[in-house]
Amino acid sequence: MKHILKLNVNGEDHEVLTDIHKTLLEVLREDLGLTGTKKGCDLGTCGACTVLIEGKPYLSCLTLAVAVQEKRILTIEGLAKDGDLHPLQKAFAEKGAIQCGFCTPGMILIAKAFLDEHPSPSEGEVKKAVAGNLCRCTGYAKIVEAILSVTEKI
């Protein structure tokens, strides 16, 4: 059975006619074409699908789309404001924190949510904040460096 879901994604309202059992990850990728949110496991174990809902990080593969109607959902596509990249996006690129880039959208969003709450964290706190987001390429070193580099700038 299909239903109309009302979703607010990246500041835009959408009405999506879709299956009620779909996860937010599926609706974002399949119905809204927002493929920046990645599916690394579909089981809540890798963090690649992280999005922000009302500013808080959620694993979109474990979140039913129907449950987050009328809430403000932010995906990686909505992070740059009017074409201006978020400082984290710039820092990730410039510091070499992106290799294959598959973990990147989730990493950047989890980092944003964390920095919004903790503007000047220690290195240990940053590591802990991103510990649920896996990366096989970078060894995390440059990711942590990139996140720490923007703590003053936000």
Partner 1 sequence: MSLFNVIGKREPMLDALEKATGRAKFTDDLTFPGMLFGKILRSPHPHAKILHVDLSKALKVKGVHGAICGRDIPKKKYGIVPMAKDEYALAIDKVRYIGDEVAAVVATSIEVAEEAISKIHVDYEVLPAVFDPLEAMKPGAPVIHDEVPNNVSAKIRKEFGDVEKAFFESDEIFEDDFETQPVNHAPLEPHAAIGLADHSGKVILYSSTQIPFFLRRNLATALDIPESRVRIIKPKVGGGFGQKIDLYAKDFCAAFFALKTKKPVKFVYEREEIFTSTRQRHPFKIHLKTGMKRDGTIHVQQFKAIADGGAYNSTAPLMITLACYFIMLPYRIENLLFEGCHVYTNKPVGGAMRGHGIPQVRFAVEAQLDLIAEKMGIDPFELRLKNAFHAGEPHPAKLLVQSCGFSDTLIKAAEAIGWKEKRGKLPFGRGIGLAGASFPSGVSNMSHISSGAVVKIERDASITLLTGAADIGQGAETVISQIVAEEMGVPLEDIRITAADTEITPLDPGTFGSGVTLRAGNAAKMAAQSAKEKLLEAVAEKLEVEIHQLEVKDRRIYVKDQPEKGMSFSEAIKVYQYSDRPMPIIGRGSYMPPAKEPTTLLKEDGNFSPAYSFMTQAAEVEVDTTTGKVKVLKMVAAHDCGRAINPMLVEGQLDGSVVGGMGQALYEDVLIEKGQVINPSFLDYGLPTAMEIPSITSIEVETDDPEGPFGAKESGEGTQLAPAPAIINAIYDAIGVRFKSLPVTPEKVLEALQEKKGKTY
| Interface positions with partner 1 (CB under 8 A) | 29-30, 33-43, 45-46, 48, 75-77, 79-80, 85, 89-90, 92-96, 98-105, 108, 126-128, 130-144
- Taking the C-alpha atoms of residue 135 and residue 98, their distance in angstroms, rounded to an integer, is 10
Of 138, 40, 45, 124, nearest to 92 by C-alpha is: 138
Write out the binding residues for ligand FES, residues 42-81 only, by CB under 6 A. 42, 44-49, 59, 61
Smaller CB separation from partner 1, 70 or 89: 89
Write out the binding residues for ligand FES, residues 87-126 only, by CB under 6 A. 98-103
User: What does 8 interact with, of partner 1, ligand FES, none (CB < 5 to 8 A by kind)?
Assistant: none
Smaller CB separation from partner 1, 6 or 128: 128
* Shortest reach from residue 43's CB to ligand FES, in Å: 6
Q: Point out which residues bind ligand FES (CB under 6 A).
A: 39-42, 44-49, 59, 61, 98-103, 135-138
